[in-house]
């Protein structure tokens, strides 16, 4: 009985933490005992009424709720196993009640047999007869998919699917961020709304990297600025404005500096849920460890729960999520055209590779004698199930990865929003005047008293 109470307590704590609330309908309330049933019914009622659960507004002892969370939050159980155990408990209690009623002659044997048969009635609302499902050809399926823009990889996996979780991992400084930025640019260009959580880069650096990447080798987009370390290139103002209009409403960045009302992880998932309502289909979390509140005693458990939560999120909302991670530290850098990372090298809980639909390893080639700079390895996918190694080159001029099938000079649509460059002239009396490009030579009059 103690084990069952632990499962009931963990399940309630799971729901109070905001996880998998849509699974409430799968539980038989009869399987909960005492305060657990009371709290379960309150949670279910609030979820049905407002679509979420606010611990502070439950008509129940707030201190008791906290006690339940603290007492069982350390466990790491499969929610499906909780459903099974609790519903088995409900059936056993109903059988005991029927048996007691039969012995006390409150019901006769025929009524008892009928009640027992009802406990095992097959509920077609919870399962489908496959023969009754309308067949949908996968060859003519026009459902939306997510491309990476790396042609050989997209061809291999036939694009990322909605409802899937991808893990992209590699060592620090070996190209993960550059690759994911290139993937984001490709999807913005396809009008696929994208959401990024970054625990490692500031919003200004993310913006600058993306903008330089989409401009590429277009020299006319830059002006030269003298600094104490030499001449540096900077994007022109009209170029920046055109890029902003190009991705307006298509790219969202999680605000890590916002005021925290709830736990950071809950706020992240709440924000992603809100982003789904705006049409976001591609989510990127960079990286796992920065998204978690690290605690050495429960780190692997937290990772397992986090990855399961990511998996539940993509399935529930029919979106795609890319989870970025690091490998184990004992893997050496490569100097050949063969990568050495395996899916078991992902640092952390074994649940990470187990729950992922796709796994990609990114490794930089540290050998100037080779004509390649990066190895992308597909280690897991639902489509082919085959390993695929894709060598790539890197262009410092465009800040992009490329090969013979993925051109280095891809043109993004920001130029469709480009307006003539403007120049502001300041006259001796302090007044200013704005001229479009070509109307005036680049002359600047110093402001004087």
Q: What is the DSSP letter of 410?
A: P
420 class by beta-carbon count within 10 Å (0-12 exposed, 13-18 middle, 19+ buried): exposed
Q: With contact defined as beta carbons under 8 Å apart, do 283 and 272 qualify?
A: yes
111 vs 435, higher pLDDT: 111
Alpha carbon distance 209, 201 (integer Å): 10
pTM given for the model? 0.66
Alpha carbon distance 220, 101 (integer Å): 87
Q: What is the DSSP letter of 145?
A: E
Residue-level pLDDT at 22: 78
Could you tell me how many residues make up the chain?
449
Q: With contact defined as beta carbons under 8 Å apart, do 189 and 412 qualify?
A: yes
DSSP per residue, 235-283: E-HHHHHHHHHHHTTTEEE--TTSPPSS-HHHHHHHHHHHHHHTT--EE
Block residue for tokens 């390893």: 361
Q: Is the peptide bond before 257 cis (omega within 30 degrees of 0)?
A: no
Q: Please give the biggest Cα pair distance in the chain.
A: 108
Residue-level pLDDT at 63: 59
Block residue for tokens 């609030």: 46
Q: What angle do CA 86, 87, 88 make, to 5 degrees?
A: 90
pLDDT-derived band at 152 (thresholds 50, 70, 90) equals: very high
Paired sense of beta strands 164-169 and 358-364, if any:
parallel
What is the residue-averaged pLDDT of the chain? 83
CA 25 distance to own-chain centroid: 25
DSSP per residue, 345-388: GBSS-THHHHH-SEEEEEEEB--TTSS--EEEEEEE-SSS---E
First to last CA, the chain: 88
Residue 221 has pLDDT above 70, yes or no: yes
Which among 227, 168, 183, 214 is positioned nearest to 361, based on CA atoms?
A: 168
Alpha carbon distance 324, 169 (integer Å): 5
Residue-level pLDDT at 380: 95
Read off the pLDDT of residues 82-95 as tens digits, 9 standing for 90 and up.
888 888 888 888 89
Q: With contact defined as beta carbons under 8 Å apart, do 343 and 372 qualify?
A: no
Residue 441 has pLDDT above 80, yes or no: no
Alpha carbon distance 59, 42 (integer Å): 7
Please tell me whether residue 390 adopts helix, strand or coil conformation.
strand
80 vs 278, higher pLDDT: 278
Name all contacts of 369-372 with Cβ < 8 Å and 24+ positions apart.
370/336, 370/337, 372/337
Residue-level pLDDT at 134: 67
Q: With contact defined as beta carbons under 8 Å apart, do 166 and 357 qualify?
A: yes
Q: How far is CA 86 from CA 12, 43, 120, in A?
A: 12, 16, 16
pLDDT-derived band at 445 (thresholds 50, 70, 90) equals: very low
Q: What angle do CA 252, 253, 257 make, to 5 degrees?
A: 140
Report percent pLDDT > 70 for the chain.
81
- Please provide residue 359's backbone torsions phi and psi, each rounded to the nearest 5 degrees: -130, 130
Residue-level pLDDT at 292: 66
Q: What is the DSSP letter of 134?
A: P
| Tokens encoding 337 | 């055209």
What's the whole-number mean pLDDT along residues 121-142? Answer: 60
Alpha carbon distance 268, 270 (integer Å): 5
Q: What is the DSSP letter of 24?
A: G
Please tell me whether residue 119 adopts helix, strand or coil conformation.
helix
What's the whole-number mean pLDDT along residues 185-192? Answer: 96
Read off the pLDDT of residues 112-125 as tens digits, 9 standing for 90 and up.
888 888 776 555 55
- Please provide residue 53's backbone torsions phi and psi, each rounded to the nearest 5 degrees: -130, 125
Sequence-ordered list of residues with C-beta below 8 angstroms from that of 381, at least 6 positions apart, any chain: 156, 157, 357, 358, 359
Residue 138 has pLDDT above 70, yes or no: no
Beta strands in 287-364 (DSSP E): 320-325, 358-364
What's the whole-number mean pLDDT along residues 234-258? Answer: 92
Q: Is the peptide bond before 287 cis (omega within 30 degrees of 0)?
A: yes
Please tell me whether residue 197 adopts helix, strand or coil conformation.
strand
């Amino acid at each position: 009985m103690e084990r069952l109470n632990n499962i009931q307590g963990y399940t309630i704590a799971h729901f109070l933490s905001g996880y998998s609330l849509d699974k409430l309908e799968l539980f038989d309330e009869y399987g909960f005992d005492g305060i657990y049933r009371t709290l379960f019914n309150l949670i279910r009622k609030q979820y049905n009424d407002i679509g979420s659960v606010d611990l502070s507004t439950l008509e129940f002892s707030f201190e008791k709720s906290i006690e339940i969370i603290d007492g069982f939050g350390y466990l790491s159980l499969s929610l499906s196993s909780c459903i099974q155990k609790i519903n088995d408990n409900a059936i056993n209690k109903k059988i005991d009640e029927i048996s007691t009623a039969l012995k006390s002659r409150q019901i006769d044997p025929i009524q008892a047999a009928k009640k027992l048969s009802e406990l095992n009635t097959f509920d077609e609302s919870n399962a489908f007869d496959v023969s009754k499902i309308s067949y949908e050809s996968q060859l003519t399926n026009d459902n939306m998919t997510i491309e990476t823009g790396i042609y050989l990889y997209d061809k291999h996996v036939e694009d990322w699917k909605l409802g899937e979780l991808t893990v992209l991992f590699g060592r620090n400084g070996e190209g993960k961020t550059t690759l994911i930025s290139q993937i984001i640019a490709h999807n913005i260009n396809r009008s696929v709304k994208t959401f990024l959580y970054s625990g490692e880069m500031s919003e200004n650096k993310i913006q600058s990297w993306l903008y330089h990447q989409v401009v590429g080798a277009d020299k006319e987009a830059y002006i030269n600025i003298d600094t104490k370390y030499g001449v540096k290139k900077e994007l022109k103002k009209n170029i920046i404005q055109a890029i902003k209009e190009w991705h307006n409403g298509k790219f969202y960045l999680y605000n890590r500096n916002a005021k925290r009302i709830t736990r950071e992880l809950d706020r992240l998932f709440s924000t992603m849920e809100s982003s789904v309502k705006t049409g976001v289909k591609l989510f990127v979390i960079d990286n796992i460890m920065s998204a978690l509140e690290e605690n050495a005693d429960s780190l692997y458990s937290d990772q397992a729960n986090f990855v399961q939560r990511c998996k539940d999120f993509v399935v529930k909302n029919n979106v795609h999520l890319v989870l970025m991670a690091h490998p184990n530290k004992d893997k050496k850098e490569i100097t050949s055209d063969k990568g050495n990372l395996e899916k078991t090298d992902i640092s952390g809980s074994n649940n990470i590779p187990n729950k992922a639909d796709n796994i990609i390893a990114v490794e930089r080639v540290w050998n100037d004698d080779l004509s390649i700079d990066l190895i992308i390895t597909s280690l897991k996918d639902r489509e082919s199930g085959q390993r695929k190694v894709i060598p790539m080159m890197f262009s410092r001029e465009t800040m992009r990865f490329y090969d013979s099938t993925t051109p280095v000079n891809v043109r993004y649509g920001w130029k469709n929003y480009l307006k003539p460059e403007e120049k502001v002239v300041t006259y001796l009396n302090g007044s200013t005047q704005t001229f479009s490009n070509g109307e005036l030579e680049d002359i600047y009059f110093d402001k004087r008293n």
